[in-house]
Amino acid sequence: MTGRSAVFQDFDLSRGIFAFRSHEPRSIRSSAKDVNGQPVPSILATMRPTQALSSGAPNWKAGHWLGDWGQMGGAKQKGIIHYGVSANRQNPMSGTFHDAIFNTFRRTKGQIFYWVPPLVAAYYLMDWATERNHYLNSKHGRAEFGEEE
């Protein structure tokens, strides 16, 4: 096996570190030596708590910025196609007024029987109540119903 394949091989509780060592035989591994001539371990990583989630915001402490939401970086994926329109070809307001008129008509047509009958009933009820109040407070209304109140 070549490359940087690594596994958790050793854990030192006193120092709190994992030692990552590759699967390759000793002869294939890097033969780096320190100042005293001692072999240096392949890769050492200290244990750290999980980074706080920051909703995709940049975290210079974590080291790698993937991008904003909807613009996440990373390697190109097979089968994913991204299309775009150049800035001089975009017209965000095209058809706005036409669509506003016809979309409003279509949506109103679908909802009109839910709100017109109660509106008409409420109008006639209020009209009847107003006329009845005017009659009861008139001369003829007091003469007819004055003794009952």
- At 31-77, the pLDDT tens digits run 666 667 776 665 554 555 555 555 556 555 555 556 666 666 666 66
> Does residue 134 surpass a pLDDT of 90?
yes
Rg (CA), the chain: 40
Of 40 and 21, the one with more pLDDT: 40
Question: H/E/C letters for each residue in 22-34?
Answer: CCCCCCCCCCCEC
- Are 10 and 18 in contact by the 8 Å Cβ rule? The answer is yes
Name the pTM for this structure.
Answer: 0.35
- pLDDT of 60 reads 57
